[in-house]
Amino acid sequence: MLKHVQVRSSSSLLRPGGQKADTLSINSNMSFCSLHEPALSSRSSSYTSLNETQSSTGSASVPAAPPTTTVKVYTRCLRPDLEYKTMSVKYTTTCRDLVDQLLNKYRMKHRDPNLFFLTMEVATRSTGAAVRTILVLDDDSCPAQLQACYPRADSKFTVRMRHGGLVKVCDSVLMPESKYKSLLISERTTVDQVIQLVLNCYNSSESVNLFSIYEVCHTTSFERKLHADDRPLAIQQEWSSPAEYSFVLMKRPPGTPRSGRDFPLRRSFLHWSRGRELNRLGRDKETGEVRRTGSLRAGSLSLAPARNYDSFLFI
């Protein structure tokens, strides 16, 4: 820090004690009008000017960082060899955010975050004996805020797993040598989330919007593009014969909309495919029954306008 130093001659104004003013001229904060005040030392003057500078410029412009705390999460569900993981979280971090952070730390980006949830075990003492209660937390709950309501010794967070199912997605569009990827997903996982999981398996940075998943029936050579909010596991559970159906990942042609409900289509082609299977079995019994089932099959595939649009799904 630079200081302005003034040098006065011995003929200048003298202090009452007989000392010359030039003996005190090294103090930058002194002037002749304030010679009667006690002089501050050079070190204290530097501290004072530094604090004034920080209070006037620095501290007022820099926002305060949000408070953080540590949360101990038991993760035997993710890693059987690790009992718990201590995470540094904010008070606004949700349970879903915490699950995502744990999957990233354990390098499990291919795992479905919807399969996992957090529970909080709380110990309450009423009649001397501790009673432990397990609370299932929502995805938007904040563990740090809940932990602040109880003593740390009386609360415990644990990662648990929901019921799910295995789906196979043909992903030769990403790697020609690969036939499919088997993913364990939950019932509420959407098509977009499944596409993101497949991309994570290859560490691909491509956008989800560039891909679509099609439901393909191999026996009837029929395919249907799934919407972004469809749930593949729920669709798979409706298949009469899983060997005849599959999910195929395809790249969206450039210039075409990824989603849009342009024309009416039957609610699901599964009813038609099941009806065709029954018709194939009944064809061996009677020729007249085959004709009747054939007419029903032709009507089920009709895309002509109908009066009752409740049985149509616009895609």
Between CA 256 and CA 260 the distance in angstroms is: 10
Name residues whose C-beta falls within 8 Å of residue 3's C-beta, 6 or more positions apart in sequence: 28, 42
pLDDT at residue number 32: 43
Q: Are 26 and 5 contacting, i.e. CB atoms less than 8 angstroms apart?
A: yes
Query: What angle do the packed helices 287-300 and 270-282 form, to 10 degrees?
Result: 170
Domain boundaries, the chain: 1-53, 68-162, 165-300
Q: Cα 151 to chain center, whole Å?
A: 29
> What is the per-residue pLDDT across 61-81, written as a single tens digit (0 to 9) for each?
555 666 899 999 999 999 999
pLDDT at 277: 58
Q: How would you label 73-94 residue by residue, b for 16+ Cβ within 10 Å and e otherwise?
A: bbbeebeeeeebbebebeeebb
Please give the CATH topology (third level) of the domain spanning 68-162: Ubiquitin-like (UB roll) (3.10.20)
The segments of the chain whose pLDDT lies below 70 read 1-66, 255-315
Task: Give the CATH number of domain 165-300; options: 3.10.20.90, 1.10.3720.10, 3.40.50.2000, 3.40.50.300.
Answer: 3.10.20.90
Are 68-162 and 165-300 in the same CATH fold? yes
Q: What is the pLDDT of residue 268?
A: 47
Give the pLDDT score at 131: 85
Compute φ and ψ for 254, nearest 5 degrees. Answer: -65, 140
CA distance 124 to 133: 8
Q: In this predicted model, what pLDDT tens digit does every residue of 27-61 receive, in sequence order? A: 444 444 444 444 444 444 444 444 454 444 444 45
